[in-house]
Amino acid sequence: MAAIFQGVGAAAALSSLPSNSFDSKNFLFSPRRSFSVRKAPSFVVVRSDGTMNLDLNPKGRRAQQFIANAVTTKEDSSAASSFSKPGNELLLFEALREGLEEEMERDPRVCVMGEDVGHYGGSYKVTKGLAKKFGDLRVLDTPIAENSFTGMGIGAAMTGLRPVVEGMNMGFLLLAFNQISNNCGMLHYTSGGQFTIPIVIRGPGGVGRQLGAEHSQRLESYFQSIPGIQMVACSTPYNAKGLMKAAIRSENPVILFEHVLLYNLKERIPDEDYICNLEEAEMVRPGEHVTILTYSRMRYHVMQAAKTLVNKGYDPEVIDIRSLKPFDLYTIGNSVKKTHRVLIVEECMRTGGIGASLTAAITENFHDYLDAPIICLSSQDVPTPYAGTLEEWTVVQPAQIVAAVEQLCQ
Amino acid sequence: MSLSHHHLNTNILPTLSATIPTPFPLVFSAPIVSFLSFIFYSPLSLPSSPPIFSPFPSSLPTRKKMATAFSPSKFAAQPFPLNTTSQNNPLTIPTTASPFLGSTRKLIRLSSSSNLNIRRRSGTVVAVSDVVKENKSKSTLNLLITKEEGLELYEDMVLGRAFEDMCAQMYYRGKMFGFVHLYNGQEAISTGFIKLLKQQDSVVSTYRDHVHALSKGVSARAVMSELFGKTTGCCRGQGGSMHMFSREHNVLGGFAFIGEGIPVATGAAFTSKYKREVLKEADCDHVTLAFFGDGTCNNGQFFECLNMAALWKLPIVFVVENNLWAIGMSHLRATSDPQIYKKGPAFGMPGVHVNGMDVLKVREVAKEAIGRARRGEGPTLVECETYRFRGHSLADPDELRDPAEKAHYAARDPITALKKYLIENSLASEADLKAIDKKIDEVVEEAVEFADESPVPPRSQLLENVFADPKGFGIGPDGQYRCEDPKFTEGTAQV
């Protein structure tokens, strides 16, 4: 099943993402305190060479999703799909909407607030049709007052609702920084645990197609220090829906980062109810030589570079970290211990970005396992220029990734 | 207010008065008259002044007839200022029916009756003129409160005062630290409003929140322990003076930055509306009160929330505790149009000005405003003129404020006024009130003892309550969730 990747120029990254054997996707949390008993599902790994392994996680505590390597265009997904019921094929924004809709049906306290989410259907159509279905109060069109309606969402969350606040563009949430940092992150603590804030704040961010500096911001680096919040970034329709649902069900405030250029990704996702664990990373392509950590749109640049690398004889292991705060140091650590080389590819700025934090975390925890210094490829520390050529050079391109891997593996 | 302005900023006066646009030129030039208005006005003279506003004459309840405390005859050209704009024409704000609500809201019809002498702020309640016309007759028989109510109000105000005084003592003895903002002098607002609420109604406050919490029902022990930073405090010692929360009593904080509580209050009101209309809990009529100061009224969040609350007719009352000073910034120096209540109609809600040193007046206004919200008629902006007897915080030397101004307001102490009212109207005797005083002293003493004896938070509490679901700390290198790490519960884990 080829994922049709639209909108990233001619060099479309073909990463086919077969439906995962989703009987392993029983990540439905046991209630808060008693998570010591986790299922150890057995699932099938379809490897790039077409062989299949039955992989039981030895610890029996966590399941890892293995998406079969599909940098090659081999239709090995057919093998995987025979293990799953036919899902439905949809685009990423539709997956988000499906997740949101299902959660709104499931729990009447879930509501959406944001600019143009109601009658307009959302500036990226994530909430299309929801206002008609659920009414104007559940899908609330707000005036242009980010700070206040985010605060309103927080107040509503404290008093029993489960709002999903949409920033039309993540950059606009800079105006809501006061509420996100002071109230969203801190009120559970300063109230001594009396009030929970089960809010989801989501929106598209990242560098788009010549959108200009203010509309091309990566807020994950600004928000990452705020205590009390979780941040996740989705990258495929599958994990978009899963993360959306998990975020809504979570009792913690969660910021879900979507990417402007990924909304038209197509994938076949399962019909069944599933969620993606908020704290776990996703193994995109297992490998041996080097660990490449990435998230959001850069995943596709990495997968494209991986094609080239495979042809050159390298075997990169690609992990989509997905959880930007906190980091899944288990998945990452296991990978580092296996490959001993780490490359981080991100869209954040060089200074103080997610990559910077990740570099520090890996160095702190896995220093002994590293054979080479960590290379972190980030966007340039410049306001994103309008000109297409300049914009291209601010973000990391596959050629740079290939070069970095070659350098690492010397 | 103009009094202080006059004394303090004489060198600025000429410039200002030249540049102040109508309708406000005369405030600064007529301080004497305003001062007189304060003097002639005796706070709780009976019967109290006419009610309040009622923008919809039809909803004017069968009010007791009350006369003005100072009838217009005392001030020659002193009709009641209206909560209107400066124009002399009746303004009918066009209805902007929000399609979302599907209803046509009738907004305030601004009346033009008499000369709109809005240049002066009187000490009385602002009333829409329709209402004013009705209530000229004097009546000496109708009291505003019963004995029980009177004693309840008195006790609450005395508790607030005694508690805050004790806080000051404890602070200077080194039992509490940081920023502590005391409420002395403003008790009438807290008592006047919050004592009308039910338990399920919510209160949102600022950093000057001890007394709001006490009025809402949080025990003095819990608040004092919180101030001492003990684990028995209402927020387990994690919040402190500026973060008084109580789930049980629906006190939603306690916010350190001004203005950031107002959206939270708007959200609580939104939940109330949502519960009624979406979740179909038909009897959900919870009201939210948002308290904040004059400085906050220049902040964007204030205006944004006024807009949203009026737009969706949220059951909320915005209570401005205008004590004229934002630390050292006089309200007049910071605000282009210092009449905050006028900003309500700009957003489509009634704006009322009330004498915040008079608990009975505040209570009357509060009844109307809370009633409006409960009936689903939308928000109200209430500006309470008040004063804080102490500095902004215990660290504030309070040198800027004019002693004469302080003395003037000290003479209008709300507790003294209520006491006088109760005694003069034979609602209570001196002995009753003394008994209450004594009782409150004991309560406060006991609270201090309790706080003193309570344990400080153990190290294990450090990492608790950061997340509602502690899995949010993530998965550690060993594959376990960090919160499962035993060091986590000890508070020594590195997260």
Asked if residues B27 and B35 have their Cβ atoms less than 8 Å apart, the reply is: no
pLDDT for B135 equals 41
Report the DSSP beta bridge partners of residue A88. Answer: A269
Report percent pLDDT > 70 for chain B: 71
Above 70 in pLDDT, residue A46?
Answer: no
Q: Do B268 and A158 touch (CB under 8 A)?
A: yes
pLDDT for A72 equals 35
Give A-chain residues touching B257 at CB under 8 angstroms. Answer: 178, 182
Q: Looking at the partner chain, which of A151, A192, A227 has a beta carbon nearest the beta carbon of B260?
A: A151
Give B-chain residues touching A147 at CB under 8 angstroms. Answer: 263, 300-301, 304
Asked if B234 reaches chain A (Cβ–Cβ under 8 Å), the answer is yes
Q: How many residues does chain B have?
A: 495
- Give the closest residue to B470 by CA, choosing from B459, B478, B480: B480
Asked if residues B70 and B40 have their Cβ atoms less than 8 Å apart, the reply is: yes
Above 50 in pLDDT, residue A348?
Answer: yes
Asked if B254 reaches chain A (Cβ–Cβ under 8 Å), the answer is yes
Q: Dig out the tokens for B317 from the structure.
A: 């009352």
At A87, the pLDDT band (50, 70, 90 cuts) reads: confident
| Predicted ipTM of the assembly | 0.79
Do A87-266 and A280-407 show the same overall fold? yes
Q: Do B278 and A138 touch (CB under 8 A)?
A: yes
**What is chain B's mean pLDDT, rounded?**
78
pLDDT for B492 equals 73
Q: Which pLDDT tens digit goes with each residue over B230-259?
A: 999 999 999 999 999 999 999 998 999 999
Nearest-angstrom CA–CA distance, A151 and B204? 13
**CATH 3.40.50.970 residue ranges in chain B?**
71-453
Give B-chain residues touching A151 at CB under 8 angstroms. Answer: 260, 262-264, 266-267, 301, 305
Q: Do B471 and A148 touch (CB under 8 A)?
A: no
Query: In sequence order, what DSSP letters do the residues of B190-220 get, joined into one string?
Result: HHHHHTT--TTSEEE--S--HHHHHHHT--H
Asked if residues A66 and A286 have their Cβ atoms less than 8 Å apart, the reply is: yes
Above 60 in pLDDT, residue A69?
Answer: no
Q: How many residues does chain A have?
A: 410
Amino acid at A304: Q
| Closest CA in chain A for residue B231 | A192
Q: Do A252 and B468 touch (CB under 8 A)?
A: yes
State phi, psi for A158 to the nearest 5 degrees.
-65, -30
Q: Do A192 and B235 touch (CB under 8 A)?
A: yes
Burial category of A397 from C-beta neighbours within 10 Å (exposed 0-12, middle 13-18, buried 19 and up): middle
Matching residue, tokens 């919809």: B56
**What is chain A's mean pLDDT, rounded?**
83
Q: Hey, of B209, B274, B292, B318, which one would you mutate to test binding to chain A, going by the most A CBs within 10 A of its CB?
A: B274
Q: Do B245 and A192 touch (CB under 8 A)?
A: yes
Superfamily of domain B71-453 in CATH is Thiamin diphosphate (ThDP)-binding fold, Pyr/PP domains (3.40.50.970)
Residue A203 backbone zone (phi > 0: left; psi -120 to 50: alpha; other: beta): left
Write down the domain spans for chain A.
Answer: 87-266, 280-407
Q: Looking at the partner chain, which of B245, B263, B478 has a beta carbon nearest the beta carbon of A155?
A: B263
Q: Which pLDDT tens digit goes with each residue over B173-224?
A: 999 999 999 999 999 999 999 999 999 999 999 999 999 999 999 999 999 9
CATH class of A87-266: alpha beta
Taking the CA of residue B316 and the nearest CA in chain A, the distance in Å comes to: 12
Instruction: Please state the rounded mean pLDDT for residues A215-229.
Output: 93
Question: A14-28, A109-123, A198-212, B220-234: which has the minimum mean pLDDT?
Answer: A14-28
Q: Which pLDDT tens digit goes with each residue over B313-363?
A: 999 999 999 999 999 899 999 999 999 999 999 999 999 999 999 999 999
Evaluate whether the domain defined by A280-407 bears CATH number 3.40.50.920: yes
Taking every pair of Cα atoms in chain A, the longest distance, rounded to a whole number of angstroms, is: 60
HSE-CB of A179 using CA atoms within 13 angstroms: 34
pLDDT for B88 equals 42
Asked if B486 reaches chain A (Cβ–Cβ under 8 Å), the answer is no
